[in-house]
Copies of this chain bind each other. A is one copy, B any other.
Amino acid sequence: KKVHEKMQGVSRRLRKSPYPLIAMDQALASVMDKIAPLPSTERPVNEALIGSVLDEDVVAVEAVPGYRAAILDGYAVIDTDGPGEYPVTAVSIATASYETPAKLLPGQIARITTGGALPEGATAVVMVEDTLLVKSSEDDTKEEIVEIRAKVRNGEAVREIGSDVKIGQIVLKKGQVISAVGGEIGVLASIGVGKVVVKQRPVVGFLSTGNEVVNHDNGQPLKMGQIRDSNRPTLIAATKAAGFDYLDLGIAPDSPEDLEAAVKNGLDKCEIVVTTGGVSMGEMDLLKPILEQKLGATIHFGRIMMKPGKPTTFATVPHPRGGQQPRLVFGLPGNPVSATVTFHLFVLPALRKLAGYEKYMWPSIQAEITHDIRLDERPEYQRAIVAVTNEGKIQAQSTDRNQMSSRMVTMLGANSLLVLPGRTAERANVASGDKVECLLIGKIV
């Protein structure tokens, strides 16, 4: 109650923000300074590993292949025997026969299928296309004599033990991210590694704030002054797409008790709590006082010289169960574009750093801008589409000329954020054809 009352003493109400406007690089450094990667954990090898970071080198405990394997369907031979007619002494189909096929002697050949184990003594495989059946058994169930019609080299069409991966070989290094393409999962599955040690993955909770905010899918027409909560679905979608785990913390109304309880609940369960709304100059902007006065938080910054995102707030709170690194709170602005842009700029890198990514900062690229832009006094992050032309030129175009921070439509189609410097006496515009840094929030091709 105290907080609220204090805010209600109108003569003590602040008419200027007490938070200095800090520079973007300072804000980012302040966030990243507070974050250490989470501890490690053991996880089974499967698709849930995608996006995890290995916390130990992975060493092959099995060779690939684990036996001398045929690359083709055909006949295992002794290469020095050369072309001619040979008796077929054995059949080695790719199966778990659990014993090495019988030894091949000079002048003998053995039927073999792709992936089948070579008989001892065999030195090469001749593909079936280069052979002819000369004689089969009476009941036609067995090949007896086959003509080998091709000359093969020693080792031809044979995969030696460990030729793909050797026992003891480091196949993946500590720090490696398990990619979405599938290669890392495939390699891990092929070498008999059931579990790997990876960094724990953070959980981020999303809390919308504001009496005016209602669930977007409440099925009710809006009342006067109500708005639909678009921030939570937007940020949850972007988080899911980035492969991180999240918790939906709902909507907290503008009462100190409710807001405190909702943030506390988030801090209990999530490494990062993201709120939207309630961080500007209004009497209902309760987040900062509650963080400081009720939750023991340290507010590291409360305003940034950037557009959109000026009131972006960052705080740390001691871990509710002690010992570990503090919880992080991002108080993002309520404006939908501001919330989305600052999520990509601050929250995703923070999640990546917690998850152990070495490259946790934004992927960015230089692109040629296709139109003039009048610079704002604040450094600005315009939503844009980066594309590669047929000539291999990387170009960028703003999604919309009206980049107002409430206009979520400026996010449509955007795969990047232009990083525009603040206006100076020397430079008031970016001209068509200039190179601009583009932070990639989506795929460029």
A interface, over-half SS: loop
Q: Are B282 and A133 in contact (CB under 8 A)?
A: no
**Known contacts A16-B129, A44-B217, A189-B229: A181-B241 contact under CB 8 Å:** yes
Which parts of A122-175 form the interface with B (CB within 8 Å)? 127-129, 131-133, 136-137, 140-143, 159, 164-165, 171-172
Q: Are B129 and A222 in contact (CB under 8 A)?
A: no
Q: Please, how many angstroms separate the alpha-carbon atoms of A182 and B210 in the complex?
A: 21
Q: Please, how many angstroms separate the alpha-carbon atoms of A217 and B48 in the complex?
A: 14
Q: Are A241 and B189 in contact (CB under 8 A)?
A: no
**Known contacts A129-B15, A172-B412: A284-B100 contact under CB 8 Å:** no
Chain B contacts for A407, CB-based, 8 A: 164
- Assess whether A26 is interfacial by the CB under 8 Å rule: no
Given contacts A44-B217, A191-B228, 15 further A-B contacts (CB under 8 A): A8-B141, A47-B233, A62-B221, A66-B226, A93-B284, A94-B210, A96-B225, A113-B285, A114-B280, A181-B415, A181-B442, A186-B234, A189-B229, A392-B394, A444-B444
What are 29 A-B residue pairs whose CB atoms fall within 8 Å in the complex?
A8-B141, A10-B137, A13-B133, A45-B233, A46-B236, A47-B240, A49-B237, A65-B227, A67-B225, A93-B254, A94-B284, A95-B225, A95-B284, A96-B224, A99-B224, A113-B285, A164-B406, A164-B407, A165-B409, A180-B241, A181-B415, A183-B411, A183-B413, A189-B217, A189-B230, A191-B228, A394-B394, A440-B445, A444-B444
